[in-house]
Amino acid sequence: MQLGSDSDNLISMFQKITLQHIRPYSQVQVELGKNINVLFGPNGAGKTTIVEALCVLSTTKSYRASKLFDLVSFGQPIGKITGETSDFDTVSVDIMPRKHIFYKNGDRITRTSQFLHATKVVVLAPEHLYLISGSGEKRRQFLDHLLCQKHPILLDDFKAYRKTIKQKQALLKQNLHFHDYKTQVEPWNQQLFTHGEIIRKHRKELLNEIQANVEKEYGEISQTAEPVTLNYLQREQSMMERLSELEFQEHRIKRVLVGCHRDDFEIGLKGQSADIIASQGERASLLLALKFAEMSYLTDDQIPVMLLDDVGVTLDDQRRDHLFHRLQKLQPQTLMTTPNPTIVENARAIGAQVLMQKKGDFQTPISWK
Ligand SMILES: Nc1ncnc2c1ncn2[C@@H]1O[C@H](COP(=O)(O)OP(=O)(O)O)[C@@H](O)[C@H]1O
Ligand SMILES: [Mg+2]
Nearest atom within ligand 1 for CA of residue 42: 22
Most ligand 1 atoms within 8 A of CB, residue of 22, 26, 49 to mutate: 49
Query: Contact at 8 Å (CB) between 21 and 80?
Result: yes
Closest ligand 1 atom number to CA of residue 50: 17
CA–CA separation, 61 and 138 (whole Å): 14
Distance 272 CA to ligand 2 centre (A): 33
Closest CA to 90 of 119, 66, 128: 119
Candidates 19, 23, 47: which one to mutate for ligand 1, based on the most atoms within 8 Å of Cβ? 23
- Angle at alpha carbon of residue 65, lines to 63 and 66, rounded to 5°: 100
105-110-113 Cα angle (round to 5): 90
Q: What ligand 1 atom has the least distance to the C-alpha of 52?
A: 17
Instruction: State which ligand 1 atom lies nearest to the alpha carbon of 309.
Output: 21
Q: Name the residue with the closest Cα to ligand 1, atom 13.
A: 44
Cβ–ligand 1 distance for 73 under 6 Å, the answer: yes
pTM: 0.92
Q: What confidence score (pLDDT) does residue 8 get?
A: 39
Centre of ligand 2 from the C-alpha of residue 125, in Å: 9
> What is the atom index within ligand 1 of the atom nearest the CA of 337?
21
46 lines ligand 1 (CB under 6 A): yes
Say if CB 206 and CB 214 are below 8 A apart: no
Q: What is residue 360's predicted lDDT score, i.e. its pLDDT?
A: 55
Strands 228-233 and 264-269, how do they pair? antiparallel
Q: What is the pLDDT of residue 11?
A: 46
CA distance 230 to 273: 10
For residue 38, report the distance from its CA to the centre of ligand 1, in Å.
Answer: 18
CA distance 33 to 18: 15
Q: 9: Cβ below 6 Å to ligand 1?
A: no
For residue 14, which of 39, 44, 35, 38 has the smallest C-alpha distance?
35
pLDDT, residue 87, reads 82
Positions of the chain with pLDDT lower than 50, given as ranges: 1-11, 364-369
Nearest residue (CA) to ligand 1, atom 3: 73
Domains of the chain with CATH codes: 1-120+302-369 (3.40.50.300), 126-301 (1.20.1050.90)
Q: Cα separation of 339 and 45, whole Å?
A: 9
Is there an atom of ligand 1 within 6 Å of 23 CB? Answer: yes
Atom of ligand 1 nearest to the CA of 45: 22
State the distance from the centre of ligand 1 to the C-alpha of 145, rounded, in angstroms.
23
Strand order in the sheet with 272-273: 228-233, 264-269, 272-273
Q: Spell 10-35 as b/e; 16+ CB within 10 A means b.
A: bebbbeebbbbbbbebeebebbbbbb
169 contacts 203 by C-beta, under 8 angstroms: no
Q: What is the pLDDT of residue 116?
A: 78
CA distance 136 to 236: 15
